[in-house]
Amino acid sequence: MDVIAVDDDAAGLELLRMVLESAGHRVRTSADVAGGLRLLAEGPVPAAVVTDLLMGVDRDGGYRLISRIRADPAHDAVALVALTGVTSADDLVRARAAGADACLSKPIDVAEFLAVLLRVSAERVRAAAG
């Protein structure tokens, strides 16, 4: 599966890349929202975007990225998985309201992360198809 990973933390981004590639996924990465949107626009359209929530100076970058992707009907089949090191009920509600299909805590449990990624990707494809 094609995946775009976005995280402003270089170590976290490299970990995501390694985890996804070791599971057989093709990964493109960006350290910021603008770069993530650029990768999305350049194509190919990924099956999923995995993003950190708390990015940028205002710490709302991940929420903005999710909202921008969800606002474009051309990306209805793209699954969005949000990651956050600070998990509160408010984070989960905001991530879902922005359009995230799942929100997981960092550090990630690799098996859970990969299972959630596959599940929400399949759900998105089914929903977009019919």
pLDDT, tens only, 46-59: 999 999 998 876 67
The reply to whether 98 falls in a domain is yes
CATH number, residue 18: 3.40.50.2300
- For residues 74 and 45, the answer to whether their CB atoms sit within 8 Å is yes
Asked whether the whole model's pTM tops 0.85, one would answer yes
Q: Residue 119's pLDDT is what?
A: 98
Domain ranges, residue 15: 2-125
What's the confidence (pLDDT) of residue 32? Answer: 95
Beta strand pairing status for 26-30 and 102-105? unpaired
Q: Residue 121 has what pLDDT?
A: 97
Residues 6+ apart with CB under 8 A from 114: 19, 23
Domain count, the chain: 1
Please state the separation of Cα 100 from the chain's center in Å.
8
Amino acid 97: pLDDT:
92
| Beta strands 79-84 and 26-30, pairing class | unpaired
